[in-house]
Amino acid sequence: MVDRFMEDKTKRVDVDITGVDAPKKTINFDDLKTGGFIKQKQKDLFTVRLRCPGGRMDSEKLVEVSKIAQKYSKEGVVHFSFRQSLEILYVDYNDFSDIVKEIEALGLKVASCGPRVRVPTACGGCEYNPNGLSDTQGLAKMVDEKYFGTPTPHKFKTSFSGCPIDCARTNEMDMGFQGVVDPEWVEDLCTGCTICAEVCKEDAILADPETGKPIFTEANCIYCGDCIRACPTEAWIAKRQGQIVRVGGKHGRRPKNGFEVARFLPDAKVPEAIEKTIEWYTTNGERGERIGTVLRRLGVDHYVDFMKPVYGEFALKPKKPMEYDPS
């Protein structure tokens, strides 16, 4: 099939694409790197997927992209993909070289398909979202720059959520990072106003009926930081801030939840965690096997042991995630 060709071949492949309407022409698929061109139902037409890490784009570039779409999309439409990238629909394969040139002249790139590290997705994060606990956009940019396109046994999807609302669905990623904060109560500053108990949606904080002061049950806490943000007297402070790391989740035909393998991992350790995880995955995974399958085949401890030098004190003893059961 044509699209498998384009997604999986990494060697130079010259393909004779003589068609009834098209002039005889060969396309060097090596120039097209590793995909980002997806076959449509319609004869000769492909979707061209751009790389938009974290779903962010300068507005100036967006204007230029829309001009390119206007020029090359036979129907004049774009689609916002489920992984936050812009896709130009209905592009004739004869225009591939030209459209890539124009996209790259803007400083943008074509995305990828196939067995490799994909474009990371991310929410707005702490830059402008009041709930945000982590610089998700910065981290997504870093992953895109450092690891995009790294070959892996199967696709490797990453995402970054700034808070436990987890809009970026870190639980469904091959590797997902979600911002968390560990709250600490400073008794001297507390006035017993009960706002923290009121804002805590998890029943981790209840107000003492006598004094109004918080009674904290850590087992219920999901580390969202609502108490810290709401406290009028700064009596809740951030003891430590970092990432929950989830590995081995996926959506698709057989969805699987990720294993929670580390908590409060400092942002500075994220690149190392990704690098080492890819190393474990490429060493132990068979071709066509997602990391979640490898984890379940070898046992999650196999991975956690390997990751000890990176996760250290932040490592968790992973519990078996709740599994999707279609029966």
d(CA 299, CA 294): 8
d(CA 182, CA 80): 35
Shortest reach from residue 201's CB to other proteins, in Å: 8
Shortest reach from residue 297's CB to other proteins, in Å: 43
75 vs 198, beta carbon nearer other proteins: 198
Tokens of 65: 């992209």
201 vs 254, beta carbon nearer other proteins: 201
Shortest reach from residue 114's CB to other proteins, in Å: 43
82 vs 128, beta carbon nearer other proteins: 128
d(CA 292, CA 318): 13
| Residue 12 to residues 23, 32, 65, 153, Cα–Cα distance (Å) | 21, 10, 28, 20
26 vs 233, beta carbon nearer other proteins: 233
124 vs 212, beta carbon nearer other proteins: 212
**3-state DSSP assignment of residue 68:** helix
Shortest reach from residue 219's CB to other proteins, in Å: 21
Shortest reach from residue 131's CB to other proteins, in Å: 9
220 vs 233, beta carbon nearer other proteins: 233
Shortest reach from residue 207's CB to other proteins, in Å: 8
214 vs 248, beta carbon nearer other proteins: 214
Shortest reach from residue 133's CB to other proteins, in Å: 13
| Residue 290 to residues 174, 232, 253, 315, Cα–Cα distance (Å) | 8, 47, 13, 22
d(CA 304, CA 294): 13
Angle (CA) 299 249 79, round 5°:
155
| DSSP structural state of residue 220 | G
Tell me whether strands 78-80 and 86-92 are parallel, antiparallel or unpaired: antiparallel
Residues that bind other proteins (CB under 8 A): 130, 191, 193-195, 198-199, 201, 212, 226, 229-230, 232-233
Q: Give the chain's radius of gyration (CA, Å).
A: 23
